[in-house]
Amino acid sequence: MGGGTDVTADAGAEESGRPTPPAESVLVVDDDPFIARLLEIELRAAGYAVRVASDGEQALALVHQEPPDLVLADVMMPNMDGFELTRRLRRDSRTSSVSVIMLTARGLSADKLEGFSVGADDYIVKPFDTPELLARIRGVLRRAKEMRAQSPLTALPGNVRIEEEIERRVRSGEPFAILYSDLDHFKAYNDHYGFLRGDRVIQFTARLIQETALEVGGEGTFVGHVGGDDFVITCAAEQAEAIARAIVDRFDREIPDHYDPTDRARGFIEVVDRRGETQRFPILSISIGIASSARRRFSHFAEAVAVATEMKAYTKGERGSSFAVDRRGS
C-alpha cells in the first residue's frame, strides 16, 4: 500500500532577459520570379525567415544546407517538379519532418490527391489569397510543432510542451504543484519480458496517470511524458497529494496484470545479471515526487522540476509505490 512522506529539512531567468526565439523559416520554390518575389515579401512581412529557390534541384541543395521549417513549392517547375521534390524530402531522414505546402495553378482533384500521396501537408490553388495562405502556413507549422512536442509512444505532450506548461504556471503566480514520477525496477522488467511488453507497460502507465489525474484534478490538470518511464503532472497545489495517492493505489491494483501468472503469484521476477548471477526483482511500483509553489517561489521551470525530482529520489527509498511531498519553505 502506498503512502506519502513529508520532508521538512531546509532545502531564474527574468522574462525580459531571455533571447528572442528565432523566426520560423520558409523556403519558397517557384520558377516564376514575380510570384517568388511576391511570396518572399509577404512572408518576410509576416515575420518569417525566407529563402528562395527557382526549381526543385536548387531547393534540395538549400534544404540540405539548412533544413527550413516549411517548404512552399510550386508543382509545375523545370528540372524537378514539386511532386518529386516532396518525394525526395520524405525519403531522406534529414528532411522527412520538414512541412510542405504545394502551390499549383491546377485545382484538379487528381493533382491534390497526388500531392497528399507523396507527403504534402497542404495544397493551395493559384491565384491565392494572401491572408488565407498565411493562415494555412501558420496551421501547418502549428501542427508540426505539436507533433514534435508529442511523445510517439504515448501521444502525451513531450519535453517542449512540458517546459512551456511549467513556465506558464511559474509566470502566472498562481500556486501550483509538479508531480514527477517514474517506475521502480522497470529495466529488470524490460530485460525479463522484452521491449514490446515494456512499451505496453509504459503505455498502460501513461493512460493510468492521465485518466486518474484528470479524474481527481479536473480539466486544468496537465500530464506529459518526459521519456522512458518518466512522467510529469502539473495541477493546482491543493490537488497534488490526492492525485498522487490515487495514482499509487490504482497502479498497485492493476500492474500485476502485466505479469505472467507464475511471476504474479510469487510476487517477483528473476533476471540474470552480467556476472551470470540471478537476482530477484519485485512487482513494478511507482515513485512520485511532489514540489509545490504554495510553500516556495519558483523563478524558472528547471527549479521546480529539480525539487520534484529530488522528492522522487527520496521516496524511492520506500518499499513499493509511494510519494514524497516537499514541505520546505523558500
- Residue extents of the structural domains in the chain: 25-148, 152-326
pLDDT at 109 over 70: no
Rounded CA-CA distance 133/128 in Å is 7
Query: Which of 35-49, 79-93, 167-181 has the weakest average pLDDT?
Result: 79-93
pLDDT at 13 over 60: no
Calculate mean pLDDT across residues 158-164: 87
- What would the CATH number be for the domain defined by 152-326? 3.30.70.270
Residue 107 pLDDT: 61
| φ and ψ at residue 166, rounded to 5 degrees | -65, -40
pLDDT, averaged across the chain: 88
Q: Which three cell numbers stand for residue 26?
A: 520558409
Please indicate whether residue 167 or residue 155 has the higher confidence score (pLDDT).
Answer: 167
pLDDT band at 94 (very low <50, low <70, confident <90, very high): confident
Residue 111 pLDDT: 67
Domain covering 25-148 assigned CATH 3.50.30.50 in the classification: no
pLDDT at 275 over 90: no
Instruction: Write the pLDDT tens digit of every residue in 207-257.
Output: 999 999 999 998 789 999 999 999 999 999 999 999 999 999 999 999 999
Rounded CA-CA distance 77/53 in Å is 11
The crossing angle, in degrees rounded to 10, of helices 159-172 and 301-315 is: 110
Does this model's pTM top 0.85?
Answer: no
Helices (H), 20-129: 33-45, 56-65, 82-91, 109-117
Rounded CA-CA distance 101/116 in Å is 10
SS3 41: helix
Give the residue among 236, 246, 240, 217 at the shortest CA–CA distance from 290: 240
